[in-house]
Structure 1
């Protein structure tokens, strides 16, 4: 435990962890079951376009409460196909408090991401701010369920309907969650899920689009297979965005462990809240039980005006202890190239949140003892903020690297 400043590794103390304890360590589930599924695919000599992908799609559709799930090789590709299949053109409005893939997938298609500010209470896109950036070139809105906290999806649906806009969602963080009694996956025209290695359910790499729109699902299935239908007809330009059987095997195995993973993460979140309670200037982002949170993230906000220490310096201190804390998301998209040069825009609520947030390790690989040790580092750093800021100086600027 780190009780004094002298104990901190950044000042010469012994690192708390012998190896880096990462944010988003993958949940692999029951390894024997994974190998069983992989062996079935190998025995059948069927490595793509197979039964495992179809089973994975069926289970995700059921979890999302929709008729269709179209699995892809990555969440980014799922977004790109979704933007294309819904016929978006010109400008699409989205929050900047998201992983850069939300914007890049649009830019790759020649669309223009337009960033609107967030609701400071939720960190999600503010429907009222959406209306302030509408132009005649606006064709759609992209809502993002940040950290698994559902955005104001019903209000965004009203804005989209009023202005005749297409509404889709980046639900990369929100598998299994709900909003106003509706499952995430069934809002707007469609919603994208990510199954990247760091997600609560992973496929090594993977993504999917969930929708109740039969025609849209059909279009997505054609687009992900070079624009060619199952009977061999070419309907237009497509790409190769298929999920492999190996990825689906991992996804199914990870899905098997989903309930237990959430249970463990929920306990982790509660322990962080308890251990950091009363830490002046630090807030653990909470989740609403009514929204069926998946507890995938532990996010803290550090207010430098109160603590006397910037979030980046706390991160530097944690990393010296081999705790791989991450800024999440910081810089925000509008502060990254090419967007900050092409379309500079002030987003005060987004910028304030991006300066404060820090993701701490959780997941099945993180124990209660690990959390107690991490929290002792955080409490020591925050309680000695001005002294540490004076001794260590400014933190180096580091790019963020997680999604």
Structure 2
């Protein structure tokens, strides 16, 4: 057990001695049953079938479809390619409305295909697309909407579905954060035309690297299966334009192993989330985002909003304090997509239309969670944050010196 922080001069920005010897990262991979994983890999090697829709991929897709309660799951090499293929399969063109408060791959998947991402502001409470703002951005060139279930908290699914149906737009969801979550008792995966999952190593549920498309549309699923394998509809029979989006057998082996441990991973995330909430309760200007305990939830992201006016310290300075302690907190999503290239050059005034997004990019940070951390780490992390928030004036000269500021 790490000793409690008792004095301000014990903070590493003052003393130079970090609380943790080893860096605590956001999104450190969860590893399930190693013996089960290695057994699957040994079987794969014995079969000499490493890719091209092998038995492990087929089993993984079937088990995912059952877990998500959807008709079709198509596994991919990563979620970005899954997004690109789904966008193309849906026939999106012209302009598509997306949040700027998301990982840049959501926008890149459109721009890569010469579709204009139209950045929409978010609801400050949910951090997801604000349906009222979506409605205002629709033009004759708009072909679709991509909602992102940020932090795994579902979008305003009913409102976005109503807008899409009334305005004859395609609706899909980037569910990279939302594997294992539900909305209205229904698992995320079956909403909109398609939903896209990420199984990257930093996600709580990983396949080393990978992603998937989930849909209840059989015709769309057939098209996506063709597109992810060069358009092959059988031996030497190409009937559609496609690319290489296939998941490998070794990724599926990891996916099956992760699926067997998914409840354990979620339990660790939930334990950590509630430990952080207890540890940071009542701290002015520091708000831990809430999840709906009435729904299924993966509790994957440990997100804190820092209000500098109330806390007396900025999010960025709090991140500096934590980094000095080897707590590798992350600014999410910083900056917003609209401030990244090429979008910053294409839309130089977009920040004027995204006030809530601009605020969130300056306030939000993510803290370490997952099976790599527990009470022995979370308690001291909360103490560090408390010490910084309770002594901002005393810390300011040390932060300025560490940052080279005067």
Fold match by TM threshold 0.5: yes
The answer to which of 154-163 and 60-69 deviates more is: 60-69
Residue 317 (structure 1) aligns with: 321
**Which runs of structure 2 are paired with 1:87-98 in the superposition (5 Å)?**
87-98=91-102
CA distance in structure 2 between the partners assigned to 1:211 and 1:74 by the alignment: 17
Q: How far is the alpha carbon of 1:227 from its aligned partner?
A: 1.6
Residue 17 (structure 2) aligns with: 14
CA distance in structure 1 between the partners assigned to 2:93 and 2:285 by the alignment: 43
CA distance in structure 2 between the partners assigned to 1:296 and 1:164 by the alignment: 34
Residue 350 (structure 1) aligns with: 357
CA contact (8 A) 1:308 1:389 kept: no
- Counting matched residue pairs gives 397
CA contact (8 A) 1:312 1:395 kept: no
CA distance in structure 2 between the partners assigned to 1:102 and 1:55 by the alignment: 28
Q: How far is the alpha carbon of 1:388 from its aligned partner?
A: 2.0
Residue in structure 1 matching 2:166, options 162, 166, 170: 162
Residue 214 (structure 1) aligns with: 218
Q: How far is the alpha carbon of 1:239 from its aligned partner?
A: 0.8
**Which runs of structure 2 are paired with 1:335-346 in the superposition (5 Å)?**
335-344=339-348, 345=350, 346=352
Residue 369 (structure 1) aligns with: 376
The answer to which of 213-222 and 384-393 deviates more is: 384-393
CA contact (8 A) 2:101 2:337 kept: yes
CA distance in structure 2 between the partners assigned to 1:396 and 1:173 by the alignment: 33
Q: TM-score w.r.t. structure 1 length?
A: 0.96
Q: Which runs of 5+ in 1 are unaligned?
A: 398-403
Residue 295 (structure 1) aligns with: 299
Residue in structure 1 matching 2:79, options 75, 89, 94: 75
Residue in structure 1 matching 2:237, options 211, 220, 233: 233
CA distance in structure 2 between the partners assigned to 1:56 and 1:396 by the alignment: 48
Q: Which runs of 5+ in 2 are unaligned?
A: none
1:7 to 1:250, Cα distance in 2 relative to 1, 3 A:
same
CA distance in structure 2 between the partners assigned to 1:240 and 1:63 by the alignment: 26
Residue in structure 2 matching 1:30, options 29, 33, 39: 33
Q: Deviations over 1:129-185 (max 9, x none)?
A: 001111111000000000010111111000000100000000000011111222100
CA contact (8 A) 1:195 1:203 kept: yes
Q: How far is the alpha carbon of 1:390 from its aligned partner?
A: 4.1
Q: Deviations over 1:326-367 (max 9, x none)?
A: 011111111211112101312011111111111000001101
Q: How far is the alpha carbon of 1:12 from its aligned partner?
A: 2.4
Q: How far is the alpha carbon of 1:234 from its aligned partner?
A: 1.4
Residue in structure 1 matching 2:287, options 276, 283, 286: 283
Residue aligned with 1:193, SS:
strand
The answer to which of 311-320 and 222-231 deviates more is: 222-231
Q: How far is the alpha carbon of 1:394 from its aligned partner?
A: 9.2
Q: How far is the alpha carbon of 1:282 from its aligned partner?
A: 0.3
The answer to which of 22-31 and 179-188 deviates more is: 179-188
Residue 271 (structure 2) aligns with: 267
CA distance in structure 2 between the partners assigned to 1:332 and 1:233 by the alignment: 43
CA distance in structure 1 between the partners assigned to 2:224 and 2:108 by the alignment: 19
The answer to which of 3-12 and 153-162 deviates more is: 3-12
CA distance in structure 2 between the partners assigned to 1:20 and 1:265 by the alignment: 19
Q: Deviations over 1:19-74 (max 9, x none)?
A: 11111110110101000000110000010120111111112112221100000000
CA distance in structure 2 between the partners assigned to 1:41 and 1:318 by the alignment: 43
CA distance in structure 2 between the partners assigned to 1:381 and 1:82 by the alignment: 45
Residue aligned with 1:291, SS:
coil
CA distance in structure 1 between the partners assigned to 2:79 and 2:363 by the alignment: 26
Residue 400 (structure 1) aligns with: none
Q: Deviations over 1:66-89 (max 9, x none)?
A: 100000000111101110110000
Q: Deviations over 1:114-136 (max 9, x none)?
A: 01110111000011100111111
Residue 379 (structure 1) aligns with: 386
Residue 42 (structure 1) aligns with: 45
Residue aligned with 2:331, SS:
coil
1:31 to 1:393, Cα distance in 2 relative to 1, 3 A:
same
Q: How far is the alpha carbon of 1:228 from its aligned partner?
A: 1.5
1:127 aligns with 2:127: no
Residue 105 (structure 2) aligns with: 101
Residue 401 (structure 1) aligns with: none
Q: How far is the alpha carbon of 1:291 from its aligned partner?
A: 2.5
CA distance in structure 1 between the partners assigned to 2:400 and 2:67 by the alignment: 48
1:388 aligns with 2:392: no
